[in-house]
Amino acid sequence: MNSIRGLMGLLGRTLLIWLAVDFFTGNYILKLSGLTPNSGGGIKHEVFHHSLSPSFDGLGVWGNVKYRICTNQFGFRDTCKKSDQVTSKNIDVAFIGDSFTQGIGIDWEKTYVGLASSSLNNLKVVNLGVNSYAASIYYSKLKYLLDEGFRIKDLIVAIDISDISDEARRYVLVDDGSVADRGDKKTLDKVKEFNEWAFPFTYRLRRVYLDSKKQSVHKVKTIKEMHRKDNPQYAWTYQDYDSDSFYGYINSREALDLSKSYMAKLAALAKRNDIKLHVMVYPWPAQILYDNVNSLQSTYWKDFCESHCEEFIDIFPTFFAAANLKGKEAFVEKMYIPNDVHFNEEGNEFLFQALRRNSKIFPK
C-alpha cells in the first residue's frame, strides 16, 4: 500500500512540475520543438474579429497539406508575385466568404478567386475571405474597409453552408459595428481556451496526437461515413433543428434568419456606397449526397436577393447536373478534398467555370 501511495505521490509531483514548466516556458519549448501551430497568417482583429497578416508570405497547413499563402499590404490573400499584388484602395471586384473563398489547402492560382482574378486581369480583384467568416463579419469588414477609404464596384458574397452555425455559436455583432465572441460560450470551450493559454506545450502535444489519430481513422471511411446525413452543421438545408446543444439558444431556422438580418445590413451598406451586391451559393458534399437542387440554401438566398441584390448566383444546378451524370459519390470524391468538405483544385476550377458562366461580372 505504501509503495502505491509513493508511486501516486511521485506521479502527482511530476505532473505538477510538468505543468509549472509548461506554464512559464511552454511557448518557448514549442518554438524549439517545431510544434508551434501554423497560423497561415491568421491574426485577431479588433473590429471584424480576425483577419490575415498584411504582407505575409508563408505556409498554411490544412490536415496533411501544406500550401503557400501570400497576402498584400492590406492583409487580403493575393498572388505571391509582389509586382502583381493589388495596392490600390479602388477595387473593381471584391470576393468575401469563409474558408472556401480564402482557398483552404490550395495555392492561390488554383483557387476559384485566383482563377477569377486571372480571368479578369484588366480589373482590380481582391479576396476578402478568411477562414470561419460569417455574415456578421462580412458586414463588419465591409464597413471597416469603406471607413478606411476603400471603394468597391462589385461585391460577391459567397455565403457558406456553415455560416449560420458560426453565427449562432460563435459571433455577435456589437452596436458599434464590431464583431465579438459570444458571451455564452459553453464551459468546455472556455476550459479549452484556458488550457491553450496556460499550458501551450501540453495542449499542442494533445492536438498533434488527436489530429494524427483522426487522420488514420479518416483513411478507412467511405464517402457517406465521412459526410454523415445527420450532422447539424450542414444538414439544416434538408432537415430542421430545434434549439439544442449545437445551435445553442436558437434553432437552425432562427440562425438562418439571424444571418439574413446581417446580410440585410450589408446590402443596405452596399447600396449607400453604390456597390453592386452579388450573392453566390454552392453545395457541400452532404448537399450533393442528401439534398436536392432546390436546397433551402438556394431558395432562401434567392428570395433574399429579389429585393437586396444586383445578382443571385446559384451554383447548385451546375453541380447537381454533373453529379447526376457521374454519380453522386464519385462526383464528391472528384471535387472535394479527401476526408474534408472543401473543394480540391478540380472543385475550385469547376466552381470558377460555373461562376463565369452564371455571373454578369464576366464578359460573355
The DSSP secondary-structure symbol of 38 reads P
Spatial neighbors of 134 by CB under 8 A, at least 6 apart, are 98, 160, 162, 163, 164, 166, 167, 170, 171, 259, 262
Residue 237 in any domain: the answer is yes
Q: Are 137 and 162 in contact (CB under 8 A)?
A: no
Amino acid 278: pLDDT: 98
Instruction: Give the model's confidence band at 30: pLDDT under 50 very low, under 70 low, under 90 confident, else very high.
Output: low
Cα-trace Rg, the chain? 22
Residue 232 in any domain: the answer is yes
Residue 255 in any domain: the answer is yes
String of DSSP letters for 83-135 = GGS---SEEEEEEE-SHHHHTTTS-GGGSHHHHHHHHTTTS-EEE---TT--H
CATH of the domain at 104: 3.40.50.1110
Phi then psi for residue 50, to 5 deg, are -155, 160
Amino acid 65: pLDDT: 80
Quick one: CA torsion of 313, 316, 319, 325, rounded to 10 degrees? -130
Strand partners, 159: 281
How many domains is the chain partitioned into structurally? 1
- Cα separation, 25 vs 200, in Å, equals 9
Quick one: CA torsion of 165, 232, 155, 59, rounded to 10 degrees? 80
Instruction: Give the model's confidence band at 189: pLDDT under 50 very low, under 70 low, under 90 confident, else very high.
Output: low
Instruction: Give the model's confidence band at 217: pLDDT under 50 very low, under 70 low, under 90 confident, else very high.
Output: very low
Phi then psi for residue 332, to 5 deg, are -60, -45
pLDDT tens figures, 54-75: 999 988 878 778 889 999 999 9
Instruction: Give the model's confidence band at 185: pLDDT under 50 very low, under 70 low, under 90 confident, else very high.
Output: low
What value does the mean pLDDT take over residues 72-83? 96
Q: Answer yes or no: is pLDDT of 244 > 70.
A: no
Residue 350 in any domain: the answer is yes
Instruction: With CA atoms as reference, report the closest residue to 240 among 223, 264, 257.
Output: 257
pLDDT tens figures, 292-341: 999 999 999 999 999 999 999 999 999 999 999 999 999 999 999 998 99
Residue 318 in any domain: the answer is yes
How many alpha carbons fall within 13 Å on the CB side of residue 148? Answer: 13
Amino acid 208: pLDDT: 61
The pTM score is 0.86
pLDDT tens figures, 121-172: 899 999 999 999 999 999 999 999 999 999 999 999 999 999 999 998 899 9
Residue 211 in any domain: the answer is no
Q: Are 48 and 179 in contact (CB under 8 A)?
A: yes
- Cα separation, 24 vs 276, in Å, equals 52
What is the domain range of residue 310?
69-183+221-358
Residue 317 in any domain: the answer is yes
Pairing of strands 90-96, 125-127: parallel
Q: Answer yes or no: is pLDDT of 215 > 80.
A: no
Residue 43 in any domain: the answer is no
